[in-house]
Amino acid sequence: MNRHFASPEDPWFRLGRLDVSTSVLVGLIGVVSGVVWVIVPDIYQLLLYHPSLVVAGQAWRIATWPLANTIWVVLSAIILWYFGTELERLVGRLRMLWLIIGTWAGLTIAFTLVALMPALSGSYLAGLGLIQFAIMLLWIAEYPNRPFFFGIPAWIFGTVILALQALSMVAMRDYGGLLSMLFSLVLVAVMARRFGLLSAYDWIPGKPAVRTAPPARTRHEPRSRVRQEQRRASDREQLDALLDQINDHGIQSLTDAQRKELMRLRDRLRKG
């Protein structure tokens, strides 16, 4: 069995034929949380986040709010897989993991700062959809001219989606949610640039990381293959020596044993 060092593009592991990359893994965790919600609906309220609940001693909510999902998280998981997988090919599975963790952190920080303002503290943070939305916008920013639905450029689609999201928050008077969304997108953009994305946007603070090509895979050849290559190299050396003798002194200079050896080496090298 051939072994090789893991490449950044390799999945973390495989489930049957499914390559479980970072994007797939996060999506699967989200789907599991949605299934748990079907069985235990009250768990949603136990996982969502608001600073006031953390102050009351429920510190786990800082980490668990992305797991506060309903069964509709399946759609978020599919979108995350679709857009996240392509970004993951650019930055590798480990950087993608840190990008998603950083997106969670950016959303949490932005929401917390806004929620500390008394007039804007009414909403709460919950669900994988927020992380998926940020990853989708990163993909659109990375590929702004990529044809989208009906051939519409990605940047137009992203602008419309972001505008609709903002307008819906304004209509619901969720100014805190709007402010935290915009603030978190700024944080995510800065972080994504540090991970090697958004390199075309020089106005975004931070020096972009250099994308490195995945290392070449070092394979350990089976011993039988190694021995075969060594034998072929030895045969070539012997054949070259006999051919040099023929070139210098003529074929009549070969003994019967050397002639038989010449034919044997020629046949063996032809067979590979």
Which of 134, 157, 88 minimizes the C-alpha distance to 125?
134
DSSP state, residue 49: B
Segment 94-112 mean pLDDT: 92
Angle between helix 73-91 and helix 93-115 axes, rounded to 10 deg? 120
| Average pLDDT value for the chain | 83
Strands (E) located in the chain: 13-15, 18-20
- The ranges assigned to domains in the chain are 13-194, 223-271
pLDDT interval class at 219 (50, 70, 90): low
Give the model's pLDDT for residue 7: 55
pTM for the full predicted model: 0.71
Q: Report, as an integer, the average pLDDT of 161-176.
A: 89
Q: In the prediction, which pLDDT does 5 show?
A: 41
Mean pLDDT, rounded, for 104-118: 88
Give me the amino acid identity at 152.
I
In the prediction, which pLDDT does 143 show? 92
Q: What is the pLDDT of residues 40-88, one digit of tens each?
A: 999 999 999 988 899 999 999 999 999 999 999 999 999 999 999 999 9
Task: Report the alpha-carbon distance of residue 55 to residue 138 in Å, rounded.
Answer: 32
Question: Which pLDDT score, from 0 to 100, does residue 259 have?
Answer: 76
